[in-house]
Amino acid sequence: MSQHQHVMIIGGGITGLTAAFYLQKEAKENGVPVTYTLIEGSERLGGKIETIYRDGFTIERGPDSYLGRKKSMTTLIENVGLKEQLVTNETGQAYVLSGGKLHPIPEGAVMGIPTKMGPFVKTGLFSLGGKARASLDLVLPRRAEPEKDISVGHFFRRRLGNEVVENLIEPLLSGIYAGNIDRLSLQSTFPQFQDVERKSRSLILGMKHTLPKPSDRPGTYGKKKKGQFLTLSTGLSSLVKRLEELLDADSVLKGEKVTELVKLASGGYSVELESGRSIQGDSVIMATPYTTMKELLSEEVAVEGFHATPSTSVATVAMAFDQSALKKDINGTGFVISRKEPTTITACTWTHRKWPHTTPDHQVLLRCYVGRANDQEIVFQSDEEILQAVLEDLKNIMGITDQPTFYYVSRWVKSMPQYEVDHKQHWETLQENLTKQYPDIYAAGASYEGVGLPDCVASAEKAVENIIQKLRL
Ligand code: FAD
């Protein structure tokens, strides 16, 4: 193994924290000669993860859970000893607001793709013409160039028609990316659907085959279906807190913004901090958004067209109510909204139902989202203005007329990276540019190979593996 390496990790969100944790683990458990400095610009670790605890409520300002089938996050949670705190979401009916009405999402719809004909035929969400157009998917041929990246909108509009896309698929997908589906890359956001078309031609038939048989599904014999999402009963910030406790305190700098990154003639890098301090090391993990990386490195490293559309700004509005505020308590977990609706909110989670641990008995916790691609001004209005706009929508949709007992508006400016067509190809070019111009600098985090928490964790693991691998040469 080569001689000792010092790694500088820029950014203390989940990506940077994970990288620090796994580097430290390698050093302590496997004797790998590596040390690190984790540098976070703000006074708080966690980045977009932030939990508020108030009056028995557990309120997530940013992410509230993660997709359980992506194992990296669960493995991290197990590694830090928080497995006992893992909880699965309560399942229930979810709705789409379309034509001023909440429609149950038809049973069997997988990300909006119908797999059961009965509920699809009966739903009032689509017109007869819309349903007929969607069923053309059963006979339409495959795309001519299945390997070529196209937009998510283009792909689904061709197979299922505009109505199914606008009333169901777009509202569901934009909840994850807050983006314009006619620009989002299919390959980088939902490659599984591209694979289904390649293998089965029809999405409807193909998705049907990918569904587990009733007998294979856990808990379906009279028991409730298990949710697909996981979170910590103690709030996601408890993971950040635990990671901070486990990391060597001398290796973590908070409130130290990196302003410059200098390549040293002698090899390695020097990181310049706003405070005037500088730190030298052999390699760097850039666990910040791509925009920060572009600012810190020379212009030639940037890839034309990569993240050409700035990340979308969104805000979450968490509101606590007494149960009596719900005049009609709709049984379910929340709703998404078709873009054609004249609402400010884009979605609403009935958090007290989806995650009962978050809310004391006889109380209600709602979390609404505002801000979407091409419509972000609302995010920059005052808390009071945002709240009033949200309450107006909730009055019309759910009949709520009470003021919340308390509320929190959380703004996340330029927070949702837009993976546009050819994202994957641009990401590969960026990595080639880094290898050529900045060897030993690794990019990780939400800007590259997935925005979800497990994707960020996996990208940090990959950066650590690359460093360890090089050390072993
Ligand atoms: P960040 O959390 O953005 O961390 C980057 C860190 O770098 C920040 O702390 C920042 O201060 C620091 N930094 C930046 N520049 C510098 C500098 N120059 N010097 C030093 N430090 C710097 N994902 C899910 O899986 N499930 C969800 O339910 C979910 N919901 C979401 C809801 C919202 C409202 C948002 C905004 C995102 C959501 N996501 C969700 C996505 C997920 O939260 C993020 O993709 C993930 O947290 C990003 O982590 P990160 O460490 O890569 O980046």
Across the chain, mean pLDDT equals 93
CA quadruple 209, 338, 308, 145: dihedral positive or negative? positive
Mutate to test the pocket of ligand 1, among 173, 372, 453, 461 (most ligand atoms within 8 A of CB): 453
Closest ligand 1 atom to 296 CA: 18
pLDDT band for position 213 (50/70/90)?
A: low
Residue 218's pLDDT band (boundaries 50, 70, 90)? very low
Residue nearest to ligand 1 atom 27, measured at CA: 63
Interface confidence: ipTM more than 0.90: yes
Residue 225 reports pLDDT greater than 80? no
| pLDDT, position 220 | 38
Cβ 240 under 6 angstroms from ligand 1: no
Encode pLDDT of 249-294 as tens digits: 999 999 999 999 999 999 999 999 999 999 999 999 999 999 999 9
The DSSP line for 10-55 is E--BHHHHHHHHHHHHHHHHH---EEEEEE-SSSSSBTT--EEEET
Ligand 1 touching residue 62 (CB < 6 A): yes
What is the whole-number distance in angstroms between the Cα of residue 298 and the centre of ligand 1?
24
Question: How many CB atoms sit inside 10 A of residue 331's CB?
Answer: 9
- Is residue 224 over pLDDT 70? no
- Which atom, in ligand 1's list, is nearest to the CA of 257? 19
Q: Is the pLDDT of residue 10 over 50?
A: yes
In tens, the pLDDT along 371-393 reads 988 889 999 999 999 999 999 99
| Continuous segment of H or E residues that includes residue 413 | strand 406-416
| Secondary element (H or E) of residue 194 | helix 191-200
| 68 pocket-lining for ligand 1 (C-beta < 6 Å) | no
**∠ CA(226), CA(229), CA(231), 5° rounding?**
115
How confident is residue 70, by pLDDT bands cut at 50, 70 and 90?
Answer: very high
Q: Which long-range contacts (CB under 8 A, 24 or more apart) does 290-295 make?
A: 290/417, 290/443, 290/447, 290/448, 291/414, 292/10, 292/11, 292/258, 293/443, 293/447
DSSP for 100-111 reads TEEEEPPTT-BT
Residue 375 structure tokens = 């419509």
Residue 346 in this model has a pLDDT that exceeds 60: yes
Q: Give the distance (Å) from ligand 1 centre to CA of residue 48.
A: 4
pLDDT score of 217 = 46
Report pTM.
0.95
CB half-sphere exposure, 406, CA atoms < 13 A: 9
Domains of the chain: 5-44+239-308+419-471 (3.50.50.60), 109-139+150-210 (1.10.3110.10), 312-416 (3.90.660.20)
By C-alpha distance, which of 204, 125, 112, 114 is closest to 153? Answer: 112
Q: How far is CA 200 from the centre of its chain?
A: 28
Grade residue 178 by pLDDT with cuts at 50, 70 and 90. confident
3-state secondary structure of 433: helix
Rounded average pLDDT over 217-241: 78
